[in-house]
Amino acid sequence: MVEAFQYGFMQRALAAGIIIAAISSYLGVFVVQRRMGFLGNGLAHSAFGGVALAILLQSHIPALDPLWIAAPFTIAVALAIQWVQQRTRLASDTAIGILFSLAMAAGIIFLSKTTRYSSDAMTYLFGSILTVGVRDVVMSIIVLALFAAALPLWGRWAYATMDGELARADAVPVERDNYILTAVLAVVIVMAMKIVGIVLIAAFMIIPAATGRLLTNRFSAMTITSVIAGIASVVIGLPLSVQLDIPSGALIIVLQSAAFFCALVARR
Amino acid sequence: MTAAVEVENLTVRFGSVTALEDVSFTLKEGGFLAVLGPNGAGKSTLLKTLTGLIEPTQGSVRIAGNDARRRDSLAVSYVPQLKTIDRQFPALALELVVSGLLRRWPWRISKDDEVRATAAMKSAGVADVARTPIEHLSGGQLQRVYLARGMVRNPRLLILDEPASGIDTTGEGEFYHLLEHYQHDHPNATIVMITHDWSVARHHASDVLLLNRRVVGFGNPDAILKDELLRDAYGHRGHKHTMQVGS
């Protein structure tokens, strides 16, 4: 299994996979504790609209990387969801449902205007980590650097996750922090599209965090456990998927789920 | 003596709904204000304007002379209702108390913070559950942990939203004694508390604010907890309870 890593495509896949898994699992603890699982799914489907737009634009600009369009598109949808939630009395799942449906609908319209969608769109729907190129690895490293800048926000995000009203009463800028968290989530979801695909991104975020919750009683320990579970699933799942000739993203999610059920049994 | 809380002509509206109208009162430093009123009287809205969570539509709220939204946030502590607390959050009781000191969630706890938090938990009678996950605490223990969290930074103003709801009668009595002890140890500390229990207001508060969107009465408990004022605030339902107050 270890020999697989001597190949360049595996090294790139592993590098990008570890980075995105670490960030996704880290953010997943906030998604799980804030009961925002639907937001993960909603943003992933919104990213599809961005990818579809990029595929449409590629007929005019062939060198255009879909991530360059999908990232701002998904961030815009994420911020719009947050804005609608704060400006209305609508439940969060309603705001997410409206905006991700709109983004998906736009994506379907964009794809209807292009002829090459079937294969390119499928890559993003189901993921294809083994096609990760050098540019994707560089992008992952840039995202990691940006994410590192947001690390000091963990304490405030966690405080607002515990009790948003207490945090506001203590003059924590909860609304601004929520916009940042949602935007970071959007970027990571777009980056994770190639690894696990739009269909499974939410699980990629939620399952390691849920495993961490089962095994620990402290939010800091939950965060560490989640990140370890996320990275381990990529490190084990990637070479195993090559050996078994199974789609990598799907196998990674299966491994994460296996860890979750082991934690469930261990907890009892 | 300095005014701890000054509310002048406070009106709060949410769209077309008026939650509070032309509310004015002044609470002296070291006072213990019990806020009473029927459901929908605007009690929680008042508390949230004191904590800066809600902006007044009209009028002003000043805490120790400063606008409530620009006050020193360390000088005010808020203890929420037990029913609003997320007990599924993975946290040790000690971490919850330390969060009151840091105003963020602790990744790790320094020795100094642990000493201060443990002292506050000892005052609240919950030092023995410092390392217990909050999901395993009883309602009474959790409410005391939240009180310790509120007291740990020695606030000048402690704001409590129905702190005894969900606690049994014995625990409730002990809880109010803890508040009295806190004021005994910190004579300048002021307490503002929502309660539905008129006997608590009578026995523990220095002042009572009887609210029903407007101020129905404000003053010392003996002057306010009277039949006619309670009937004004609560309507006919108040009359039955008045007998208990007088007893």
DSSP per position, B89-122 = S--BHHHHHHHHHHSS--SS--HHHHHHHHHHHH
pLDDT exceeds cutoff 50 at B243: no
Number of domains in chain A: 1
Q: What are the sequence ranges of the domains in chain B?
A: 3-84+155-203+210-246
pLDDT exceeds cutoff 80 at A119: no
> What's residue B224's pLDDT?
85
- The rounded Cα A82 to chain-centroid distance in angstroms is 17
- Give the whole-angstrom CA distance, residue A160 versus residue B168: 29
Inspect the interface and report whether the beta carbons of A217 and B91 lie closer than 8 Å: yes
Q: Is the ipTM above a cut-off of 0.90? A: no
Mean pLDDT of A62-70: 84
Domain of A20 in residue numbering reads as 2-267
Question: Which one of 3.90.180.10, 2.40.110.10, 3.40.50.300, 3.40.50.10190 gives the CATH number of domain B3-84+155-203+210-246?
Answer: 3.40.50.300
Sequence letter at residue B99: S
> Tens digits of per-residue pLDDT, A138-166?
988 998 998 899 999 999 999 999 999 89
pLDDT exceeds cutoff 50 at B246: no
Sequence letter at residue A258: A
Sign of CA dihedral A91, B85, B87, B109: positive
pLDDT exceeds cutoff 70 at B153: yes
Inspect the interface and report whether the beta carbons of B89 and A220 lie closer than 8 Å: no
Residues in chain A: 268
Indicate which CATH number applies to the domain containing A192.
1.10.3470.10
- Give the whole-angstrom CA distance, residue A241 versus residue A249: 9
Cβ contacts of B89 on chain A, cutoff 8 Å: 33, 161-162, 219
Question: b or e along B180-217 (b: 16 or more beta carbons within 10 Å of the residue's beta carbon)?
Answer: eebbeeeeebbbbbbbebbebbbebbbbbbbbbbbbbb
Query: Is residue A232 packed enough to be buried (19+ CB in 10 Å), middle (13-18) or exposed (0-12)?
Result: middle
Inspect the interface and report whether the beta carbons of B106 and A220 lie closer than 8 Å: yes
In order of A223, A261, B90, B192, the CA distances from A191 in angstroms are: 20, 27, 29, 49
Inspect the interface and report whether the beta carbons of A218 and B86 lie closer than 8 Å: no
- Backbone angles phi and psi of B132, in degrees to 5: -90, 135
> What's residue B19's pLDDT?
94
> Tens digits of per-residue pLDDT, A237-248?
988 998 898 888
- Give the whole-angstrom CA distance, residue A73 versus residue A42: 13
Which residues of B sit within 8 Å Cβ distance of A? 51-53, 73, 76, 78, 80, 84-86, 88-92, 95-96, 99, 102-108, 133, 135
- Give the whole-angstrom CA distance, residue A136 versus residue A131: 9
